[in-house]
Structure 1
Amino acid sequence: MHFSSSSVSSHPLAAYGWDEGWETEFLPYSVQSLLPGRVVRVDRGMCDVVTEAGVVRADTEFVVPRDPMKVVCTGDWVAVDPAGSDPRYVRTLLPRRTAFVRSTSSKRSEGQILAANVDHAVVAMSLAVDLDLGRVERFLALAWESGAQPVVVLTKADLVPDPVTLSHLVEDVVASAPGVPVLTVCAREGEGVQELAALIGRGTSVLLGASGAGKSTLANALVGDDVMDVQATRDMDGKGRHTTTTRNLLPLPDGGVLIDTPGLRGVGLWDAGGGVGQVFSEIAEFARDCRFHDCAHDAEPGCAVRAAVDEGELPLRRLESYRKLVRENQRIVAKSDARVRAGVRQDWKRRQAEGRAAGEAKRGRGPWWPAPPR
């Protein structure tokens, strides 16, 4: 079945993001009597798919690939068997527009897709515990790399009653998130929720953060109903109890959908070089004045980035965080790309040689001096 462009806006799936682009992508499958649908939940080889006829349960057996990056994920648009098929199968995935991916703990360094076809990546950080700016930067690197627009939401703002302290916390996050909106909310009281809803609009948003960050409470506030279970965090460390165990796609009352995710203990980078560069865009600006175009901003002479740190224009914490994420991303890429791996090894050897030369210089002799007699 083919839907004309004029009927796209009134299509039953329009509230879930169906548009002319998806209609065009689906056209080859409509002649096969398959139905378009969006995955709202995946669970052990089965998934719930919302279609024009409602939510159906479908098997993903026919789209289980060798590549873990192509498994069915919450947010995917798919083609499913029509009514009357028993069992019903997902027959294919439509090409993704965006994908939020992190690395797994696997020694094979595989990627894991957390959400697909996302317009906004909402990073929730709790003010009930000390803010981890490095973690904020890590989330943002993955968000930028996914193709989505990041948003940082500082939850549980009521636990910081002093407005001056709250203002300083917001300023710290803003400085660590160039180009990213930063909001404070108290979801239980509804404060800041409407501002967030207006910001993410009628598209698809994924809600990310550690367990205990208040994601489920925020999801309930955005949806306007208690659709997600909520439990109190532990008093001793502010950590939650993983009340959300699957990724769920929830329709929002004013249009658009929200994908709620389980609390993430680890957010390893996955080929996110571009995202890292965007998070630390000011470092790239300073780096334009470095003497060497491939400066690592470590021990090279004429480094404008280290000069910016010395002059107080760039916080040392930002540079250290940048170095850490760059090294981590290089390791991930090197595991899957032999050419990059060789380049990293060559760079490592060069740094070793530079370190030895620096050590010799500190001991009062350069490489052109003969070694002292023994």
Structure 2
Amino acid sequence: MTLEDLGYTSDLEHYRTEHGLGTFTIGRVIAEHKERYVVKTAETEYDAEILGNLRFSAQSRADFPAVGDWVAVSEYDDDKALIHAVLPRKSVIERQAVGKKGEKQIIATNIDKAFIVLAVDRDFSINRIERYLAICHNSNVEPIVILGKIDLIEAAASVELLESVRKRVKDVPILTISNESKQGIDELKQMLDQGKTYCLLGSSGVGKSTLLNTLLGQQLMQTDVISEHTNRGKHVTTHRELKVLESGGIIIDNPGMREVGMADSVGGIELTFGTILELSEECRFKDCSHTTETGCAVLAALETGAIDQASYENYLRMTREQQHFESTVAEKRKKDKDFGKLMKNYKKGNYKK
């Protein structure tokens, strides 16, 4: 296997040369386990950890390596290595960190396309699709919607469901598949290009790991059934992991996400709700919130049915979340700045003594 098979590019090699990293081995992070990483190179795999100065210079968790990252490493044992640097990321898929105000969680890096996987037989939600779309658009990652387990509903219901999705999701490929009957699998395989990286996004139990096993042609990822009591999927995939397919495509599997919180993704929201963005240009007020203002083109379109009510409400909800996230980031920065001033004054006082 070559680095190019893992997605390595000439731009990364140029950066490596320009920044004096030529003496290090280059590899890609294929798994993460509580700040210990599995790094795959052209020749082998290492159990790796980050160098001390890299740890202490990090401004936030986002500065640490993540699955999909390219890193410069040095071997210090047969299968162990130290990570000296993280190479620039061409894309980062991230969401608001669960339970942590003003912080983001990296889902995966250096992604070309994302497969948004939903199961048609359980917690299917177009609102959830729009959330994932906003995250992808904000990350400059091309989204593809996959409606899985299509064999579990009647053909007529399948057609109706597909039409409802297409009504709200514009200009995004939508594919219906079944891991059991293999419907749509060949079409999906044709979308996978050598050296390109794909990410699986979706809730627990929608069939992401089963789909990956199908694409791999072997049972490498553990799978489980849906709980009959809660109708929820179990977190079978407990960590992010990168796999290389025989076809040459590279796929990152992710633990299921029950919360898809909006971070600083205003651009992604605007691209996802393009119709609302276009109409907002016709609003009477430039700072129109599209809720109560006179002369709001968005509200006018809502009344005529030109905009879907559920999509409009989801847009408002996601916009509020994004604004709240930005306010918590500003609040956190102010607290950090005030604390820094306090410590600086404290040290000055001690030095005078």
| Structure label with greater radius of gyration | 1
Please report how far the alpha carbon of residue 109 of structure 1 lies from its aligned counterpart in structure 2 after TM superposition: 2.0
Q: Which residue among 156, 169, 173 is the counterpart of 2:165?
A: 173
- Which amino acid in the other structure matches residue 164 of structure 2? D
Deviating more after overlay: 211-220 vs 197-206 = 197-206
Hey, what's the Cα distance between the residues in 1 that align with 2:80 and 2:126? Answer: 48
Q: Indicate yes or no: 2:33 matched with 1:46.
A: no
Query: How far, CA to CA, are the matches of 1:48 and 1:25 in structure 2?
Result: 22
Does the CA-based 8 Å contact 1:188-1:221 persist in structure 2? no
Partner of 1:291, secondary structure, is coil
1:337 positional shift: 2.9
| One-letter amino acid matched to 1:97 | K
Letter in 1 for 2:28: R
- Tell me which residue corresponds to 1:315: 308
Deviation at 1:81, TM superposition (A): 0.3
Partner of 2:12: 22
- Structure 1 Cα separation of the partners of residues 115 and 102 of structure 2: 25
1:195 corresponds to which letter in structure 2?
E
Q: SS in structure 2 opposite 1:81? A: strand
Preserved contact between residue 129 and residue 237 of structure 1 (Cα < 8 Å) = no
Q: Distance in 2 between matches of 1:15 and 1:165?
A: 41
Given the alignment, which residue of 50, 57, 66 partners 2:47? 57
Write the mapping of 1:110-259 to structure 2, written as runs, cut at 5 A. 110-161=103-154, 163-202=155-194, 203-259=196-252
Spell out, residue by residue over 1:312-369, the C-alpha distance to the aligned partner (whole angstroms, 9 max, x if none). Answer: 111111111111100110000111236x99xxxxxxxxxxxxxxxxxxxxxxxxxxxx
Give the Å deviation of 1:210: 0.4
TM-score (norm 1): 0.83
| 1:71 aligns to 2:73 (yes or no) | no
1-side partners of 2:40 and 2:250: how far apart? 12
RMSD: 2.0
Looking at structure 2, the residues matched to 100 and 152 of structure 1 have their Cα atoms a distance apart, in angstroms, of: 16
- How far does the alpha carbon of each residue in 1:17-76 deviate from its partner, in whole angstroms, 9 at most, with x for none? 012112112224665521010000011221111112211111124433231111110000
- Residues 117 and 146 in structure 2, CA contact (< 8 A), matched pair in contact too: yes
Query: Partners of 2:19 and 2:148 in 1: how far apart?
Result: 43
Q: Give the whole-Å Cα distance in 2 for the aligned partners of 1:95 and 1:177.
A: 32
TM-fit CA distance, 1:229: 0.7
Q: In 2 relative to 1, CA 124–259 (structure 1 residues): closer, same or farther, beyond 3 Å?
A: same
Q: 1:86, 1:261 → 2: CA distance?
A: 25
Distance 2:253 2:100 in 1: 27
Return 278-287 or 173-182, whichever deviates more. Answer: 173-182
SS for the counterpart of 2:203 is coil
State the match for 2:296 in structure 1. Answer: 303
User: Residue in 1 aligned with 2:73?
Assistant: 80
Counterpart CA distance in 2 for 1:281 and 1:179 is 10
Cα 1:31/1:39, change in 2 over 3 Å = closer
TM-score by length of 2: 0.88
Give the deviation of 1:88 after TM superposition. Answer: 1.8
Residue identity matched to 2:4: A
Contact 1:212 1:238 in 2 (8 A): no
Q: Which AA in structure 2 matches 1:174? A: R
For the Cα contact (< 8 Å) 1:145–1:275, is it kept in 2?
yes
Conserved 8 A contact 1:128-1:238: no
- Deviations, residues 142-191 of structure 1 (Å, cap 9, x unaligned): 11111110111001000112x22111111222223222111110023222
Taking the aligned partners of 2:21 and 2:208, their CA distance within structure 1 comes to 41
Instruction: Return the offset for 1:304.
Output: 1.1
Letter in 1 for 2:159: S
Letter in 2 for 1:184: T
**Stretch of structure 1 that moved more, 127-136 or 89-98:** 127-136
Matched residues in 2 for 1:319 and 1:301: separation?
Answer: 17
Q: 1:66 to 1:287 in 2, by over 3 A?
A: closer
Seq. identity, %? 33
User: Match of 1:218, SS?
Assistant: helix
**Distance in 1 (alpha carbons) for counterparts of 2:20 and 2:97:** 36
Q: 1:156 to 1:337 in 2, by over 3 A?
A: same
Stretches of structure 1 lacking an aligned partner (at least 5 in a row): 1-10, 342-374
CA deviations 1:86-132 (Å, max 9, x no partner) are 85201100010000011112443210101000001111111111521
SS at match of 1:277: helix
Q: For residues 290 and 49 of structure 1, what CA distance do their matches in structure 2 show?
A: 51
Q: Work out the CA distance in 1 between the residues paired with 2:79 and 2:184.
A: 46
Could you say if the C-alpha distance between residues 206 and 31 of structure 1 is closer, same or farther in structure 2, counting changes exceeding 3 Å?
Answer: closer
Match of residue 354 from structure 1: none
Deviation at residue 201 of structure 1 after TM alignment: 2.5
One-letter amino acid of the structure 2 residue matched with residue 164 of structure 1: A
